[in-house]
């Protein structure tokens, strides 16, 4: 794998992983420069960060909370990976631009973007469609789709300029392609992620750029457990899925 353009620390970590006899995940993430955007310090995002570190990727961990970002990055560094923490609010266009720019500077480029943060019940009440306020609809759109679209539009020129392809992975939901009682705005936003991914595939596949949406079901996280514990009764297997030890 060519390492030109990668930061010195990222290059050293990639070479160390390649020379190590320790077992690694059999995937293509080794030495790749990845930004985990939004929620990288907890829950599903923290589990993704850990997996990327185990695979030998160079990771920038972005979270709303500074302490969570720093803790997640420190764990990777302790394990021999290259990782940096950054923090900001993905709902802010200025914060988003700053975080992506910082990630590119730290990594010496960018090979992958993972967008994590989203949800409904942690942000607005679960109500029927006709009872939902305009401002609540906007909030759900902002935290599930708008920031992802902004981030994708910002990283595409980076991928194109590098001429090495690129990958975007977004955490979606089964709600994006099935009925969503009391979650209309959330379902619409997650459905929009699927459409965005198809558009990226159609327009940029020839450039080696791809986008995938991982549409999970109900996952046990700190937030989900507090606000939606009653929903476990509606799951056929009688339990939530798990994202890892940091759920």
**Residue 247, pLDDT score:** 39
Q: Which residues are catalytic?
A: 186
Residues 85 and 128 in one domain: yes
| pLDDT tens, residue by residue, 104-158 | 999 999 999 999 998 877 788 888 999 999 999 999 999 999 999 999 999 999 9
Q: What is this structure's pTM?
A: 0.83
Residues 169 and 181 in one domain: yes
Of 53-62, 100-109, 230-239, least confident by mean pLDDT is: 230-239
| pLDDT tens, residue by residue, 5-34 | 788 878 777 666 555 545 454 457 788 999
Count: domains in the chain: 2
| pLDDT tens, residue by residue, 188-226 | 999 999 999 999 999 999 999 999 999 865 655 555 555
For residue 223, with 0-12 CB atoms within 10 Å meaning exposed, 13-18 middle and 19 or more buried, which class applies?
Answer: middle
Average pLDDT over residues 64-86: 95
**More reliable by pLDDT, 231 or 108:** 108
Residues 115 and 94 in one domain: yes
Residue 2 has pLDDT above 60, yes or no: no
Residues 66 and 125 in one domain: yes
> What is the domain range of residue 232?
220-247
Is 98 among the domain residues?
A: yes
Calpha distance 210→199 (Å, rounded):
10
User: What CATH number is given to the structural domain containing 200?
Assistant: 3.40.50.720
For residue 99, with 0-12 CB atoms within 10 Å meaning exposed, 13-18 middle and 19 or more buried, which class applies?
Answer: buried
Is 3 among the domain residues?
A: no
């Amino acid at each position: 794998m060519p390492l030109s353009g990668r930061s010195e620390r990222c290059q050293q970590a990639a070479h160390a992983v390649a020379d190590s006899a320790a077992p690694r995940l059999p995937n293509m993430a080794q030495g790749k420069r990845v930004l985990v955007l939004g929620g990288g310090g907890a829950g599903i995002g923290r589990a993704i960060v850990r997996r990327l570190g185990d695979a030998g990727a160079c990771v920038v961990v972005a979270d709303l909370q500074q302490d969570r970002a720093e803790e997640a990055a420190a764990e990777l560094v302790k394990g021999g990976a290259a990782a940096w923490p950054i923090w900001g609010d993905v709902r802010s266009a200025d914060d988003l631009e700053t975080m992506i720019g910082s990630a590119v500077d730290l990594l010496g480029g960018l090979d992958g973007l993972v967008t994590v943060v989203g949800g409904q019940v942690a942000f607005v009440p679960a109500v029927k469609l006709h009872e939902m306020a305009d401002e609540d609809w906007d909030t759900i759109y902002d935290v599930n789709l708008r920031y992802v679209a902004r981030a994708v539009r910002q990283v595409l020129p980076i991928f194109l300029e590098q001429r090495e392809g690129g990958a975007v992975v977004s955490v979606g939901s089964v709600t994006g392609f099935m009925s969503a009682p009391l979650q209309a705005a959330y379902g619409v936003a997650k459905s929009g992620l699927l459409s965005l991914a198809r558009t990226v595939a159609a327009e940029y596949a020839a450039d080696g750029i791809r986008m995938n949406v991982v549409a999970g079901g109900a996952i046990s996280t700190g937030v989900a457990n507090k606000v939606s514990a009653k929903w476990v009764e509606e799951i056929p297997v009688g339990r939530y899925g798990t994202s890892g030890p940091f759920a």
